[in-house]
Chains A and B, each alone.
Chain A
């Protein structure tokens, strides 16, 4: 049975269900379970649910160590940027050990990191920084765009034997969607085709999926049939589904809230240019944030970010339309 749940509640439901199912799952982080009434603390006790100091290096490093010793920790980091304080642990510790030990240890940890809070949080709490992690061998990177996937991908992330950075979008926090009750598992590494179409492929990431779908609706009114693909997982990347779509449509627009050179869009474009060049009828278009720090003031913030109009413009361009005069 599916019922409506907000995206953030779907994430919490997955963690709760996995903690019920598997007592090796731990949940900890800053400002978490400080009250005796906390539902996780009440259900699972203070061995498995703990508040930490503001110590990201220790939090993530301890998750790695607890994983060595047989547990499956989920670290609640709140803001994705807080991982940057502990970059060594995320990039140069967690994903290295399975490999460096010749497979002797596994590091099944989940780093729960909110991102993209472009709602006046200015320069340091608004980044869409998954691009810098998707190129790290051994890390998995997840970017759910719906409440249902938020649950299913968290379930899969917890059960995965690798370190997973789970990027949830802050602006989707309260967006409701149908979410299956009970166990719900969305495999890592499988893209979803959100809308089928034959004229152009739009690959959109995270918060951009809804914008791409809205743009596709608008384009449909102009007689343009857009296929919208949500990768859902950036590492491993389901390149096959994207290439298959481009093979059909011959045109690709990639929409990503990240700044261009740090974006997943640039990697996806490179893969398609390399592996699917013969299918392409037009140059690939990237619709990304402009290469600047996110400003505080709203008109400037809006200016930097991808939106529906920019997506529509990019699609029109790959279809050979003249840019609409301002």
Chain B
């Protein structure tokens, strides 16, 4: 199962990617990410004049010899990040291969996080139970793959935006949200408004399937909403499809605008693109990974 959903060759291709964050809020533990604060890493950062009280061990004696003034040699600090991946598990995610794709994305992000030695957590839920996973260290890469792969089908019937907040841990450096975004923008706005209080660096991945982007229905179709079960009867004509696409792009534009307003990064991820393409190209372009 796990090998099928996320084969090893994909894991290998993730290579040396690591998550970039400009957020100041790093974890308290030692990690692999350089902090803007000075610290005890081997990388040189800067010189500054000595002030009484500074640690004498940090005085650069060579400089003192040349200039007769005591200077303190500063080094960069290296700290860990706390990465959280929140997966939308409402029923609409189960359509058209979106679920597999979304899980692959979650696993890929989890691998990257774990490999960098960051505390990586993952959460989602179904109607019956909540799923939560938190590990640190690259040895746990296999277990996160297994954990995420075991969630077979998305079955939550609640609105994603209503429950999302409850499933985000308290201290998070980088928050990845993987969703299909098929909810009213007013609800998203409600969620977005509260997210920056929890985390400074939020990254929203909206998953789109091919039938959603280019509907290929014909004739008279009765569409059933996968979540509410409500039916809509549509005579599919070119005009109807045009209207649909116009509505969809308007919705997406609104989402992007909203995200921008609240400082949230947003990437459109299409199922057809494939995981690797999304991770290695789109995320890197967006500066999410390096």
Q: Do A and B bind each other?
A: no
| B interface residue numbers (CB < 8 A to A) | none
| A interface residue numbers (CB < 8 A to B) | none
